[in-house]
Chains A and B, each alone.
Chain A
């Protein structure tokens, strides 16, 4: 049972806002705010006295089609309002939130920025982003391991996005599942840090294959760890030769300028 409003939504994503513990919206397909429960079908009782016949029906339906169609709707909305959307993906602890904390103040001088935060629980990340003074909404996925297009569709309705702005979506820390779910973003950014293994692109190829840009974070720690940057980059390029590559430290700011320039160029080219 949902402990905030007492409804029986056991699972499913919830939108939250930092600093407002009363605010919460269940993500559902019938718009936002109402509780749409599925699965309470009336069960038809089979009548065993009659002969059954079976037949095969061709469907030819892409399993992810529902998500993909909704993602395209999101994409159309973003395009119409000239909102550039980046989907940030990484393992937990690679520094997605720290990177946003570093880059947002730099970008904010010229462009309005908003953030959607995805985590299983807590509004901790959204609170860190809110401290920067940008609109932010937290999606708590509950038991879910990834964000999907429906969650973004609901979250966007709760966020006051400006035209010509940048929207950063920080996905749930997970290098596997989020790779499969298009959210309607313009580009996917995968982040790895030097405290992880340099073979990560080979271990989790789907994510690196789907990504447009790879950021190697925490390079200030390189003197202390056995991480081969050249090898990591080579591994990433083997999986996806279109991948753009940046090396930086969100902590010290080293390399952040080059990436900022890249984003600003993308914003200009829209």
Chain B
């Protein structure tokens, strides 16, 4: 359940940013969690609601983009979609695959609510 400590670090990071911007509350958080990032989005959402209690992001909606993994073949250089770490090159059958994307785990943006005219 590392999702809990991750949820807490998201809450902490957005809280700091939102206060800097003078927000009254955070209504939305956009996350990018690659399919290979090792994070369960559903579990994260569940933990988030507990982690955000009593903070500016208590009512924030999490929007999660989940980009697919992409592997690069170390033998022939082909780029292809991968869903596991143990992928095989569809062309040359090599197992020497390097993951080039799908491991990202980023807070893209937040939507904040503030007083008119402030």
Chain A residues in contact with chain B, CB under 8 A? 38-39, 41, 43-44, 46-47, 50-64, 66-67, 144-146, 148, 176-177, 179-181, 201-202, 205-206, 208-209, 235, 237-241
Contact = CB atoms under 8 A, between A and B. Distances in A.
Interface of B: 1-2, 5-6, 9-10, 12-15, 17-18, 21, 24-25, 27-28, 31, 36, 38-39, 54-55, 74, 84-86, 88, 95-97, 99, 105-116
A59 B112 CA distance: 12
B5 A148 contact: yes
A52 B109 contact: no
Contacts, number: 116
A95 B29 CA distance: 42
Contacts of B10: 63
B50 to A, nearest CB: 12
Contacts of B113: 52-54
Contact of A238 (B18, B95, B108, B116): B95
How would you classify the secondary structure of chain A's contact residues: helix, strand, loop or mixed?
mixed
Contact of B55 (A41, A50, A61, A239): A41
Given A41-B55, A206-B85, A241-B96, A54 B116 contact: no
A57 B30 CA distance: 10
Contacts of A202: 86
A50 B95 contact: no
Given A205-B84, A239-B85, A56 B111 contact: yes
B84 to A, nearest CB: 6
A132 to B, nearest CB: 31
A57 to B, nearest CB: 6
B101 to A, nearest CB: 14
27 contacts: A38-B12, A41-B55, A43-B54, A50-B115, A52-B114, A55-B111, A55-B112, A56-B112, A57-B17, A57-B110, A57-B112, A59-B14, A59-B17, A61-B13, A63-B10, A63-B105, A64-B105, A66-B12, A145-B1, A146-B2, A146-B5, A176-B38, A202-B86, A205-B84, A205-B85, A238-B86, A241-B74
A47 B106 contact: no
Contact of B13 (A66, A146, A238): A66
A46 B10 CA distance: 23
